[in-house]
Amino acid sequence: RAEGLPRLYGDFVAVDGIDLSIGRGEIFGVLGPNGAGKTTTLRMLVGLLRPSTGSIVVDGVDMVARPQDARARIAFLPDTPYLYDKLTAREFVHFVAGLYSVPPEQVDRRSDELLTLFGLGDRADDLVEGFSHGMRQKVVMVAALIHAPKVIFLDEPTVGLDPRSARLLRDILRQLADRGTTVVLSTHILEIAERMCDRMVIIDKGRVVAMGTVAELHEQAHETSSLEDIFLSLTGGPADAAIASVLS
């Protein structure tokens, strides 16, 4: 639960008082045009950025008062996977498991299972410096799941994944959600939001412009057409006119 989250960069208001309440086991999408404030919002929710005021509570734990306890309950996958190139995939996963104090007897089993699930079983002992973007994403995903987080935040998770891997990720997130893990993801890809998310928020210029299920968004926007049309009408409309005048 987040209440009244504003974030200023100097005088610039990147996020202007966002209120969110996301239920256990829900897959929740954060949508919005470039620069809307999605990454800033996610970074506040995971404790990487301090909101100017407001409160964030994760699984009953206050992020500002008890940041370490709150962070122990979450995983965050940034849009660019950060890895140590001179570690193998397995070493990286074990390193992250150590940071989260996962009991050693669980680490081997869980890391083997997860690396295999993500199709990295036969590359587990290769240095990640030789991995493609999608493979790096998968290593970070495995590392994120190693401490069985209660809430997973993903910033643009499907960028760089091939269709099979994107589908795998979707299926895994749904299974995690069915078992009570909460999933919060930002995406530009409306088809993903529509297929994956139970509910979503559309942010524009740092403010919430709509929130709900796809059906509720249709009602709020008085639109019977696609999620794309709703998104465009709520966030300033398509750029057709501008394109036409530039190209003419």
Size of residue set near ligand ATP by CB under 6 A? 11
Question: Using the rule CB under 6 A, is 37 a contact of ligand ATP?
Answer: yes
Question: Using the rule CB under 6 A, is 111 a contact of ligand ATP?
Answer: no
Give the shortest CB-140-to-ligand ATP separation in angstroms. 17
Return all residues near 83 (Cβ < 8 A) that are at least 6 apart: 92, 128, 131, 136, 139, 140
Give the shortest CB-53-to-ligand ATP separation in angstroms. 17
Q: Are 114 and 131 in contact (CB under 8 A)?
A: no
Buried b vs exposed e over 216-244: b needs ≥16 C-beta within 10 Å? ebbeebebeeebebbbbbbbeeeeeeeee
- Alpha-carbon gap, residue 7 to 169, rounded angstroms: 30
Question: Using the rule CB under 6 A, is 39 a contact of ligand ATP?
Answer: yes
Query: With respect to ligand ATP, which residue has the nearer C-beta, 47 or 119?
Result: 47
Give the shortest CB-197-to-ligand ATP separation in angstroms. 16
Query: With respect to ligand ATP, which residue has the nearer C-beta, 145 or 200?
Result: 200
Return all residues near 67 (Cβ < 8 A) that are at least 6 apart: 47
Give the shortest CB-30-to-ligand ATP separation in angstroms. 8
Question: Using the rule CB under 6 A, is 38 a contact of ligand ATP?
Answer: yes
Give the shortest CB-99-to-ligand ATP separation in angstroms. 25
Residue with tokens 């210029």: 205
Question: Using the rule CB under 6 A, is 40 a contact of ligand ATP?
Answer: yes
- Alpha-carbon gap, residue 138 to 121, rounded angstroms: 11
Contacting residues toward ligand ATP, per CB under 6 A: 9, 12, 14, 32, 34-40
